[in-house]
Amino acid sequence: MKHLFTALLLPVFSILFSAAVQAEGHAPAPPAGDPAKGQAIVSTVCVACHNADGNSTIPTNPKLAGQHAEYLLKQMKNFKGQNGNPPERSNPIMNGMIAAYSEDQMRDLAAFLSVQKYRPDVAKNPDTINLGQKIYRGGNAAKGLPACAGCHGPAGAGVPAQFPRIAGQFSEYVETQLKSFRAGERANDPNKMMRMVADKMSDNDIKAVADYIAGLR
Ligand code: HEC
Ligand code: HEC
């Protein structure tokens, strides 16, 4: 049995492994930053809403701990607005919070937050778990809704640098973002990827998938 396993499956693992190594070889270098400098800012400023380690406990404030550094950096730059242009992602609180920081400081912040241990939330609504899981894993062909797993991964861990981790995020925050993408108010998603997804979802779909995501690991 062991030999059969080795003979049949080892080549498959080797191929998968070398594909993973190749993909990694082509990935852009993660943004360098100084986590100690980032921590100094988090512990004096961001702490008020996202906690000292980025594990916010207030459902309207997203958890940032363990999020991909590239995604964090992109969001901070989007909140600030570049080259005199208005911010690409508009939120009265965050637009103000991030305005004072340089790109180097944002890299420091991303470097610190991305390596903090993540404390995920939990799902709360047993009645909608099935619908949420169905949408997450398979989308809805009749509505032209793609599976979330296709981009965010089967366990919601995301794929650096493009796709954020969403597993364990507060359902309240996820719901707000999906509605905001759907309304076109959040429009910083490359190639309208999330706007096209959210556009195909009812309020009910959004609530169900947001709660499922909170419990996803
Ligand atoms: C007064 C509360 C408050 C403070 C202080 C604050 N934030 Fe936020 N932050 C928020 C809220 C609310 C959001 C969600 C905005 C939205 O809904 O679009 C957010 C969103 C974010 C996001 C986007 C996360 C994602 O998943 O897309 C990042 C990154 C972020 N904050 C970083 C920071 C950093 C770094 C600091 C400190 C310099 C900070 N925040 C300080 C309230 C705050
Ligand atoms: C085609 C790829 C793709 C699919 C399919 C997709 N997403 Fe996304 N999603 C993205 C990208 C890219 C972003 C980051 C946008 C940005 O850079 O601001 C994102 C961001 C998000 C965010 C915001 C995260 C945050 O921290 O603010 C949420 C929530 C989200 N997606 C939920 C979903 C759900 C739920 C589904 C399935 C119904 C889904 N996504 C399907 C590509 C995708």
Query: How confident is the model at residue 121, as a pLDDT?
Result: 98
194-211 average pLDDT score: 98
- Matching residue, tokens 């905001």: 180
Question: Does ligand 1 come within 6 angstroms of the Cβ of 43?
Answer: no
Q: What residues have CB less than 8 Å from 131, skipping those under 6 apart?
A: 204, 205, 208, 209
Question: Does ligand 1 come within 6 angstroms of the Cβ of 55?
Answer: no
For the segment 126-177, what is each residue's pLDDT rounded down to a tens digit?
Answer: 999 999 999 999 999 999 999 999 999 999 999 999 999 999 999 999 999 9
Query: How confident is the model at residue 82, as a pLDDT?
Result: 85
For the segment 106-132, what is each residue's pLDDT rounded down to a tens digit?
Answer: 999 999 999 999 999 999 999 999 999
For the segment 13-64, what is each residue's pLDDT rounded down to a tens digit?
Answer: 434 433 443 444 455 555 589 999 999 999 999 999 999 999 999 999 999 9
CA of 44 to the centre of ligand 2 (A): 30
Nearest to 60 by CA among 148, 126, 121: 121
Question: Does ligand 2 come within 6 angstroms of the Cβ of 207?
Answer: no
Question: Does ligand 2 come within 6 angstroms of the Cβ of 148?
Answer: yes
Pocket test for ligand 2, best of 72, 133, 145, 152 (most atoms within 8 A of CB): 152
Residues in the chain: 217
Alpha carbon distance 191, 188 (integer Å): 9
**C-alpha separations of 41 from 112, 113, 130 in Å:** 10, 11, 41
Alpha carbon distance 107, 198 (integer Å): 29
Nearest to 75 by CA among 57, 62, 58, 84: 62
CA of 106 to the centre of ligand 1 (A): 12
Alpha carbon distance 92, 102 (integer Å): 19
Question: Does ligand 1 come within 6 angstroms of the Cβ of 94?
Answer: yes
